[in-house]
């Protein structure tokens, strides 16, 4: 069933709000556009819809670079100019701060970075044929991809190599991250581990973790403005690393100017902020829930010789 809708407020996840008979979350629209959209799912309080035709395009509408865009749900904004993407993301952040955080504040810095090939971490789905891809939007069908314009070039090389052989049966997802080493985490069931290891070793991946099989330590490390930042595959880290380095230095400069005696870093991950901030204050207290990230944080403090960060593994709340 399709409907003519007007796109208004951008929302998290690439959706744009539309209010017709009820609330509709539109996929593939840009604020201000009039579109024809197909309702793909009806829930009690809202519907999900996919744009089929644009009747009144936004000045920010551009031709997507990737031929799979729209078919593949791996990214959300290729139909929007980079300037338009920044505006949409800023509006999303303002909305989240207001609705969830009850904070109304101007955002005084929007930092630009490379729009393509910037991601250092990717979590692929695996098709029945063993090829890597992403879910089709609003579905669990895997769209195989040959190249991804968002991930960095070393990850694309590995994507190409793995797809040339394919992964053995039973592997459902593959997380790959690049740093000094390219490492991976395998998710799935009933796969033959040695067969998976053979394919991954041939692709250039040097360290592999198999989900639900603990024991080994596998990390890849990145330069965090002169310090090491090492991450286990599966633990969170900022995937746009160049942008992250700039954000981190902005924040640590601000903290140096304030020169507080103590800083608390909630949701601290592997120490992305705590590591640089430790130089600008006497003591940092960092709180992080995940066991993986906590393990990385302890490792990172040690290899950087930092002893004034007190890490607590706990929920913040
Ligand atoms: C978006 S990441 C940011 C991590 C880090 N600050 C960074 O910039 O890389 C959010 C982190 O919060 C952690 N987290 C999520 N919910 C939490 C909670 N309730 N209490 C503590 N940590 C939590 C996650 O494990 C994750 O490491």
242 in the same domain as 277: yes
How do beta strands 171-178 and 182-188 pair?
A: antiparallel
* Inside any domain, residue 105: no
| pLDDT tens figures, 13-47 | 899 999 987 999 999 999 999 999 999 889 999 99
Residues 206 and 230 occupy one common structural domain: no
For the sheet containing 283-288, what is the strand order?
A: 262-266, 283-288, 309-313
- At 215 the pLDDT is 66
Q: Is residue 162 part of a domain?
A: yes
Q: What is the CATH number of the domain that holds 26?
A: 2.40.50.140
Among 261, 259, 241, which Cα is nearest to 270's?
A: 241
> Which whole number is the average pLDDT over 61-80?
94
94 and 7 fall within a common domain? yes
Output the CA 289–ligand 1 centroid distance in Å: 7
106 within a domain of the structure (yes/no): no
Residue 1 has pLDDT above 80, yes or no: no
| Domain presence at residue 113 | no
Q: What is the CATH number of the domain that holds 273?
A: 3.40.50.150
| Among 68, 99, 130, residue at a domain's last position | 99
pLDDT in tens, 255-310: 999 999 999 999 999 999 999 999 999 999 999 999 999 999 999 999 999 999 99
Domain hosting residue 33, numbered range: 2-99
Q: Which atom of ligand 1 is nearest to the CA of 235?
A: 27
Ligand 1, atom 18, lies closest to the CA of 315
Confidence (pLDDT) at 63: 96
262 C-alpha vs ligand 1 centroid, how far in Å?
Answer: 20
Domain closes at, from 179, 210, 241: 210
C-alpha 78, offset from chain centre: 15
| Ligand 1 centroid, distance to 19 Cα (angstroms) | 33
Counting the structural domains of the chain, the total is 3
Q: What is the mean pLDDT of residues 66-77?
A: 91
If you take atom 12 of ligand 1, which residue's CA is the nearest one? 267
Q: Residues 79, 160: one domain? A: no
Residue 215 lies in a domain: no
Last residue of a domain, one of 39, 66, 99: 99
Ligand 1 atom with the smallest distance to the CA of 237 is: 9
| Whether residue 233 is found in the same domain as residue 202 | no
Pocket test for ligand 1, best of 233, 288, 315 (most atoms within 8 A of CB): 288
**Residues with a CB atom less than 6 Å from ligand 1:** 236-238, 267-269, 272-273, 287-290, 293, 315-317
Q: Are residues 202 and 147 in the same domain?
A: yes
> What angle do the packed helices 153-165 and 193-203 form, to 10 degrees?
130
**Band (107; pLDDT cuts 50, 70, 90):** confident
Query: Do the domain assignments include residue 227?
Result: yes
Do 180 and 267 belong together in one domain? no
Q: What is the CATH number of the domain that holds 205?
A: 2.40.50.1070
pLDDT tens string 209-223: 998 776 678 999 999
Q: Are residues 239 and 289 in the same domain?
A: yes
Asked if residue 167 is part of any domain, the answer here is yes
């Amino acid at each position: 069933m399709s409907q003519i809708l007007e796109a208004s407020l951008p929302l998290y996840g690439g959706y744009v709000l539309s209010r017709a008979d009820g609330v509709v979350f539109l996929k593939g629209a840009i604020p201000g556009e009039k579109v024809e959209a197909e309702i793909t799912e009806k829930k009690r309080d809202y519907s999900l819809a996919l744009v089929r035709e644009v009747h009144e395009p936004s000045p920010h509408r551009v031709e997507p670079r990737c031929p799979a865009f729209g078919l593949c749900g791996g990214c959300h904004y290729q139909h929007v100019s980079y300037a338009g993407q920044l505006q949409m993301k800023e509006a999303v952040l303002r909305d989240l701060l207001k609705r969830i955080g009850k904070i109304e504040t101007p955002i005084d810095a929007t930092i630009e970075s490379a729009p393509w090939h910037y991601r250092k971490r990717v979590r692929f789905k695996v098709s029945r044929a063993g090829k890597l891809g992403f879910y089709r939007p609003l579905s669990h069908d895997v769209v195989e991809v040959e190249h991804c314009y968002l991930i960095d070039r070393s990850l694309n090389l590995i994507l190409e190599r793995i797809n040339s052989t394919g992964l053995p049966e039973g592997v459902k997802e593959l997380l790959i991250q690049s740093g000094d080493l390219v490492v991976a985490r395998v998710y799935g069931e009933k796969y033959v581990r040695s067969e998976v290891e053979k394919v991954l070793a041939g692709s250039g991946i040097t360290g592999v973790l198999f989900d639900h099989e603990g024991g080994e330590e596998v990390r890849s490390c990145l330069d965090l403005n002169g310090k090491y930042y090492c991450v286990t595959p599966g633990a969170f880290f900022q995937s746009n690393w160049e942008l992250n380095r700039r954000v981190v230095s902005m924040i640590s400069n601000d903290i140096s100017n304030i020169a507080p005696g103590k800083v608390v870093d909630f949701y601290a991950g592997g120490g992305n902020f705590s590591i640089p901030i430790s130089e600008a204050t006497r003591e940092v207290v960092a709180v992080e829930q995940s066991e993986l990230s906590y393990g990385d944080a302890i490792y990172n403090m040690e290899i950087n010789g930092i002893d004034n960060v007190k890490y607590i593994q706990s929920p913040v709340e």
